Amino acid sequence: MIIGLPGIGQKTAEEYLDKAPIKLSKEVCAFTKEEFEKFSDHLKTYCDTLWEDIELRKQSSSMTELSAANYQKALEILGKITDNGAKYMSQYYCLTLLCKDYPELLSGDEISRATNYSNKFKDCIQFRMDVTTGKAKESDRPNWRKESLEAELGFCQIMGPKYLKVLGNDLDDLRRLLPDYHTLGSLYFPDKSGSEIEALSAVHNYLEKFRTNSFLGNLKVVFSDFTGSP
């Protein structure tokens, strides 16, 4: 259980979302691997507590059989939720692939520069590995560390804010859709505690997305197993 939070089963989805530790203490590009791991572990603990809450509510609540009218209402809500989720899944995927499908999000010039930074960074990682295995010498590329840092920062300055922008829009839409999740939950679970399950699950899914996607623009975090001095 997270210290300082009310007991499991007492919090609403909105309360979990409002208290979620997702406010970054500084620019995403400035985070070290160790700082990211501390942030990620803290958020994971929070998510685990939320998931425990959801599971306990499921155990103590019984789903009701939907009437024809309520079944149709649930389908309409699920359609809206599914369409919204697919929209953001496509945007996250596009950022990862540096695709051209969302020019308002990622321009052609930004794609070109980010691709060049990414390729240079990967070249430096490969060179580091070659030095480690004896296939190359430091003197073969004496400025590789400087090149790696410049590529890492250049990529993050472009892509870091992009991921956070999509996450911010995703969060805004989640808040907008929470009443629909509450309605859906009340259709499935007539009791007050159970009626929060769908909304709580939506919040949990978003927080896990934030933990996974918020640092994808930071190459020293993404490639943390391969970076550093040989």
Tell me: the pLDDT tens digits for 167-189? 999 999 999 999 999 999 999 99
Mean pLDDT, rounded, for 205-209: 98
Tell whether 4 is covered by a domain. no
pLDDT at 223: 86
pLDDT tens digits along 52-90: 999 999 998 888 999 999 999 999 999 999 999 999 999
The confidence score (pLDDT) of residue 192 equals 87
Q: Is residue 152 assigned to a domain?
A: no
Residue 208, in any domain of the structure: yes
The answer to whether position 73 is within a domain reads no
- Has residue 225 got a pLDDT over 90? no
Domain annotation covers residue 11: no
Q: What is the DSSP string of the chain?
A: --TTSPPTTS--HHHHHHH-S---SS-GGG--HHHHHHHHHHHHHHHHHHHHHHHHHHHH--PPPPPHHHHHHHHHHHHHHHHHHHHHHHHHHHHHHT-SS-TTTS-HHHHHHHHHHHHHHHHHHHHHHHHHHTSS-GGGSTTHHHHHHHHHHHHHHHHHHHHHHHHHHHHHHHHHHHHHHHHHHHHH--STTGGGHHHHHHHHHHHHHHHHHTTTT-HHHHTTTT-S--
Kindly tell me if the per-residue pLDDT of 230 is higher than 70: no
Percent of residues, the chain, with pLDDT higher than 90? 87
Domain contains 54: yes
Residue range 116-142: mean pLDDT, rounded:
94
pLDDT band at 226 (very low <50, low <70, confident <90, very high): low
Q: CA 152 to CA 167: how far, in whole Å?
A: 21
Range of the domain at 96: 29-62+79-104+160-222
20 located within any domain: no
Confidence of residue 10 (pLDDT cuts 50, 70, 90): confident
pLDDT (average), residues 28-48: 96
Q: Match 């400035």 to its residue by tokens.
A: 30
pTM: 0.90
- Total domain count for the chain? 1
pLDDT of 1 higher than 70? no
48: in domain? yes
